[in-house]
Amino acid sequence: MASPAITVRGVVKDFGSGQTAVRALHGIDAQIQPGELTFLVGESGSGKTTLISIIAGIMYPSDGSVCVFGTEIYDLSENNLVKFRLANIGFIFQQYNLIPTLTSAENASVPLVAAGVSRGEAVERARATLERLGIGTLGERLPRQLSGGQQQRVAIARALVHNPRLVVCDEPTAALDAASGRKVMDLLRGVALDQDRAVIIVTHDNRVFDLADRILDMEDGRIVKDERPTKQPSDGAPH
């Protein structure tokens, strides 16, 4: 078996301090394999979003460590952690978080611009990513001119435009109907099939559980179940 893409060791997260502290994660240990689509499921408040935020390098743990493709990310300085995220991690948010005054191509180009790529080159690379996701004709449209499913694809393009090795998604189908949600998950499954990439998705959407290679079930800040479901065939998507 290939080396794990992600190794989480003893991760604890406390919010607050002293007698008012609340422990959201209780010593999480987990390994995520490359080339797999991993779902993180559980009731609201179980710690799912906190865990993926720590894995993605956007929330520091109170204790423990996270290794992402061989890099202990919380051993990095804050500045180097930002650089590591820009180069290696794509985050897909539940609410899309598109900038309303930017076109689809400009929204998708944001990680490249943040990494220092010239605006012209960044937008061209973003257009190519939109094309791969089947919405190349929508590059000049503003978010308000797009359907929910189209906006989510732009958000996926933004997460993939810099070719990250880790893609993390927080409830990517929550605002979509069943058909649109299935299409988005099919796209993400295609992305996950790259052996040099890992994809982790927080979801409540049991309509798409069959697409997962692995499901980690969380409860009260702990992983209580680790299973591999039977999947239906998928057409996949370009990487």
Q: pLDDT digit string (tens) for 141-175?
A: 999 999 888 898 899 899 999 989 999 999 887 77
| Residues in contact with 206: Cβ distance below 8 Å, sequence separation at least 6, in sequence order | none
Confidence of residue 231 (pLDDT cuts 50, 70, 90): low
End-to-end CA separation in angstroms for the chain: 22
Which segments of the chain does DSSP mark as H helices, in order? 48-55, 78-88, 104-108, 110-114, 119-132, 148-160, 178-192
Domain spans, the chain:
6-227
CA distances for 112 relative to 53, 123, 223, 239, angstroms: 21, 9, 34, 17
Correct CATH for 6-227 of 1.10.10.10, 3.40.50.300, 3.40.30.10, 1.10.1200.10: 3.40.50.300
pTM score, two decimals? 0.86
pLDDT number for residue 224: 96
pLDDT number for residue 229: 80
Q: pLDDT digit string (tens) for 77-98?
A: 999 999 999 899 999 887 788 9
Please tell me the distance from the alpha carbon of residue 233 to that of residue 239, in angstroms, as a whole number. Answer: 17
Residue 159: CB atoms within 10 A of its CB come to: 24
Mean of the per-residue pLDDT values for the chain?
89
